[in-house]
Chain A
Amino acid sequence: MYDKTVRRRRVVLALLVVLSLILLTAYFGEAPSGSLHSVQRGFLTVISPIQDGANKALKPVRDLFGWFGDTLHAKSQNAQLRKQVDKLRREVVGERVDQQSYRELLGMFHLDNQLSVADYRPVTATVVGKSPNIWYSTVTIDKGTTAGVQVEDPVINDEGLVGKVTQAVADGAQVSLINDSSIGVSARLGATGATGIVQPKVGDPNDLLLQYLPANTPVNKGEYVFTSGTVASPDDSLYPRGIPIGQVTSIDEESAYKSVNVHPLANLRNLDVVQVLTAARGTLPARLSAVAASLPPGQRAGGETSAAGQLASTSGAGG
């Protein structure tokens, strides 16, 4: 009897471990259109409405817990933000002049439309689920393909870039955040216009790395980092140009390239409402963004204010 129990216990363990390994190997090896991925998408389709309902029902509980944390956080942020406001006020004066020259340049290139987030057909969505794991920075939102959300669509909130859509079903989608190990965003520094790639600092959810900057690029602490609007080629823009990503916190000197630590502006740990920019690549806004991104750095000045400035206004409309 005892032997039988021991044998059964071991068989069950071995069976479950082998099953896990088979799933792991098959999932890791197959393409995103494979059968296991389809099963996952099917499951997401089924649970999206449930998650949405549960999210609404449990919102008061979440808000209650969040209130304590937010209060403590707000106090420490207050002094920091006051300093920042003073600094930004001084910068705004300079930006106004740059903005004027930018408008003139747009006219020269016959780009009558001012680039803004509204041109990218933003769809406002609520975050209904989040991974607790430090290795996966993903959230689930309550809008899917029926609302026009597609895979690879950029996601923002009122603070800055949040991530991109990596899975989409009818009534829900999965968003990989900018601190997810699978994400790389083409970015540039606000002051110099030097471009690099923003990648997550895996294991540290509060930090990003702007890598591959030319070694002689002057970088200042506190400087803003924006999306550059290009990915592989100027015509293949994934993120609109000029969306704020983060602020430089420290600089790492390297031999051939410079990399800087960037603190994301969006509070990725406490996302509630986000906007998915659903305008497909190849549409007018995407083409405008690509053309604007191809302008020489000196002529681009002030460009980020158009998209970045819209974030605050869209947040007001979208919650």
Chain B
Amino acid sequence: MSGSGVSPGLLARIAALSVAIVFFQIGVVSEVPVFGVTVDLSPLLVAFVGLLCGSTLGAASGFAVGLLVDLALVQTLGLTSLVLTLVGYGCGRLRELRDPQAALTPLLVGAAAACAALVGYSLMQFMLGVDAPVSLELLRQIVLGVLVDAIVALPMWILVRRCLIGGLPDDPRRRRRRAYTTGGLSPLSRA
């Protein structure tokens, strides 16, 4: 993906998914606290777009989702964009460099993305001058936030993958891997 052109179909899928997830987040998920914190789907969405589509699309979707969140919630413009851009880029680079295929990859990537987003956001707030102590309660909130995000990471991965898979170009590495795991290409595909 990183080297090839991006199809308009894939962009449309990412845009539609982003809008749907952000509205679902604001309207439903934020209203349902789990262990005293709310699940934040936006870092998971951006991380999984990066993991599926590469660093460039990961960063771009991070910026767009962050901007949408900041606009919809009347928050400081650019703050969420900056954090999510870096999260999307990082997850995209992970795919480009390692292409991890373990079953638990989405869970670990989701937890890492949530952690990076929460810590990054907190750091930015401190840098912007919010007068708050680094309390145990704040750390507890971050840890619980990462935990609940990790819980929903797998279903979120399935959703994002299912929505985007049709728009992804067939990656030669994946084709080779499929051929290897199924015992080689079928005679029909060789023809």
Residues of A within 8 A of B (CB): 1-2, 5, 8-9, 12-13, 16-17, 19-28, 36, 39-41, 43-44, 47, 50-51, 54-55, 58, 61-62, 65-66, 69, 127-136, 138, 140, 166-167, 174, 181, 201-207, 269-270
Report the nearest A residue to B38, measured CB to CB: A132
Q: Are A130 and B26 in contact (CB under 8 A)?
A: yes
* Bound form: Cα–Cα A289–B142 in Å: 41
Report the nearest B residue to A206, measured CB to CB: B36
Identify 14 new A-B residue pairs, CB closer than 8 A, beyond the known A17-B85, A58-B28, A132-B42: A13-B59, A16-B62, A51-B26, A54-B27, A62-B32, A66-B31, A127-B31, A129-B27, A133-B80, A134-B145, A181-B130, A201-B135, A202-B133, A204-B135
Which DSSP category, helix, strand, loop or mixed, fits chain A's interface? helix
Q: Which residues of B contact A66 (CB under 8 A)?
A: 31-32
Contact status of A167 and B55, CB under 8 A, knowing A13-B85, A23-B81, A204-B135? no
Q: Are B27 and A58 in contact (CB under 8 A)?
A: yes
29 contacts between A and B (CB under 8 A): A16-B59, A17-B86, A19-B63, A20-B63, A20-B79, A22-B78, A25-B78, A40-B74, A44-B72, A44-B74, A47-B72, A51-B27, A62-B28, A65-B32, A69-B34, A128-B27, A131-B26, A131-B30, A132-B25, A132-B30, A132-B40, A134-B138, A136-B73, A140-B26, A140-B73, A167-B74, A202-B133, A207-B137, A270-B33
> Would you list the 8 A-B pairs with minimal beta carbon distance, nearest first?
A23-B78, A203-B138, A202-B132, A24-B78, A20-B82, A130-B30, A204-B137, A27-B77
Q: Are B135 and A12 in contact (CB under 8 A)?
A: no
* Bound form: Cα–Cα A39–B63 in Å: 17
Report the nearest A residue to B73, measured CB to CB: A131
- The digit string for B64-88, where 1 denotes a CB below 8 A from any CB of A, is 0011001111111111111001100
Q: Which residues of B contact A13 (CB under 8 A)?
A: 55-56, 59, 85, 89
Q: Which residues of A contact B75 (CB under 8 A)?
A: 131, 133, 136, 138
Option from B25, B67, B82, B133 in Cβ contact (under 8 Å) with A21? B82
* Bound form: Cα–Cα A21–B66 in Å: 13
Q: Taking the complex as formed, is B105 at the interface, i.e. its CB lies under 8 A from any CB of chain A?
A: no
Option from A8, A16, A136 in Cβ contact (under 8 Å) with B85? A16
Option from A135, A167, A205 in Cβ contact (under 8 Å) with B122? A135
* Bound form: Cα–Cα A131–B42 in Å: 12
Option from A24, A47, A134, A138 in Cβ contact (under 8 Å) with B79? A24
Q: Which residues of B contact A28 (CB under 8 A)?
A: 76, 128
* Bound form: Cα–Cα A133–B62 in Å: 16
* Bound form: Cα–Cα A103–B173 in Å: 82
Q: Which residues of A contact B40 (CB under 8 A)?
A: 132-133
Q: Which residues of B contact A17 (CB under 8 A)?
A: 82, 85-86
Write the nearest CB–CB distance from A26 to chain B, whole angstroms: 8
Residues of B within 8 A of A (CB): 2-3, 23-34, 36-40, 42, 55-56, 59-60, 62-63, 66-67, 70-82, 85-86, 89, 118, 121-122, 125, 128, 130-133, 135, 137-138, 141-142, 145
Q: Are A21 and B78 in contact (CB under 8 A)?
A: yes
Q: Are B33 and A138 in contact (CB under 8 A)?
A: no
Write the nearest CB–CB distance from A134 to chain B, whole angstroms: 5
Q: Which residues of B contact A136 (CB under 8 A)?
A: 73, 75
Write the nearest CB–CB distance from B171 to chain A, whole angstroms: 15
Q: Are A27 and B76 in contact (CB under 8 A)?
A: yes
Q: Which residues of B contact A1 (CB under 8 A)?
A: 3
Write the nearest CB–CB distance from A133 to chain B, whole angstroms: 7
Q: Which residues of B contact A270 (CB under 8 A)?
A: 31, 33
Q: Are B23 and A54 in contact (CB under 8 A)?
A: yes
Q: Which residues of A contact B70 (CB under 8 A)?
A: 40
Report the nearest A residue to B57, measured CB to CB: A12
Option from A36, A55, A135 in Cβ contact (under 8 Å) with B27? A55
Report the nearest A residue to B81, measured CB to CB: A20
Write the nearest CB–CB distance from A170 to chain B, whole angstroms: 15
